[in-house]
Amino acid sequence: MRLSPADIKSLQVFRVVVEHGGFVGAQMALGLTQSAVSFHIKALEDRVGFRLCHRGRAGFSLTERGELVHERAKALFAALSDFESALGELRHTITGTLRLGVIDNTISDPDLSLHKVVRAFLHQAPKARLEISIGVPDQLVRDVHSRGLDIAIIPEIPKQPGLHFTRFYEERHLLYAAADHVIWTSQPVTQDAVLRYPFVIRPYASQTELEYFPEAPVGATASNMEAQAMFILSSRFLGYLPDHYAKRWCDLGLMMPVLADSCAIRSPFVVVTRVSTHRSLLMRTFIRELVASSWARAHLDEAL
């Protein structure tokens, strides 16, 4: 099968459908009608000669061969982006698409300032395109490995074969309770007192979040920080949050840190890339701006 421009377009639509878990999300992401999305999927199935996905009342799911096509499609678009970037380098121009994955709720962190990195990167590479996906660490790492992403910025997790993890800064987390949590009736608030109350944790960060309280009762789990904050604000749970993220509720008097001087934890952040990846000028430019931003912030703090 020789790919035509129409096939490439249908593959792009197929990829978006898979990434959004079905046609509804893809319609919104692509700005297409349901009939247009269905047309592309049907046209692609006709071209490859087999069914790619199940859709209907039972929901959306990929067939076994559909999963393989999706993986090959991700590799194809990554290769096309690499080719575009390589051509740009030959013209001494930074072009192509850089696919970046980031953990949720980093936007309020002054020590990361990704918006400044994005601004500096696009200033250096005005002809480049930047795609940003927000997700949980394990999914972002899988996407880097499968070439769905070029770079991921996540809290440190165990290293995995084929991927390169580079530490570049640390995020400070404190234990928080709602202002009307019953813990504040305990005088004084001690580590033993904390162990009387249930915690909410993020499963991927449980070892870090329970560093000081390994025997703490876990009463709830949350897939991301926003859900974790909801549990804490319910007054039923204690939980760790980045101090920059919790600040908004602390300023409103709705949340307060618990044992901030003795139970703060540091969460190292890493940049994840593929080991085998030739770092294009596009990727090198983004990483350079990321490192420069982190270095400037650290040295500004030292100067102050």
Predicted TM-score (pTM) of this structure: 0.72
The dotted CATH code for 170-267 is: 3.40.190.10
Per-residue pLDDT, averaged over 232-246, amounts to 95
CATH class of 5-62: mainly alpha
Task: Give me the DSSP letters along 169-227.
Answer: EEEEEEEEEETT-GGGGSSS--HHHHTTS-EEE-GGGHHHHTSS-TT--EEEE-SSHHH
The DSSP H or E segment spanning 266 is strand 265-274
Measure the CA–CA gap between 275 and 96, rounded to whole angstroms.
20
The mean pLDDT value for 180-208 works out to 86
Task: Say whether 76-167+268-303 and 5-62 share the same fold.
Answer: no
CATH H-level, domain 76-167+268-303: superfamily: Periplasmic binding protein-like II (3.40.190.10)
Annotated domain spans of the chain: 5-62, 76-167+268-303, 170-267
| pLDDT tens-digit map of 51-101 | 988 877 777 888 889 888 888 888 887 777 777 767 766 666 777 888 899
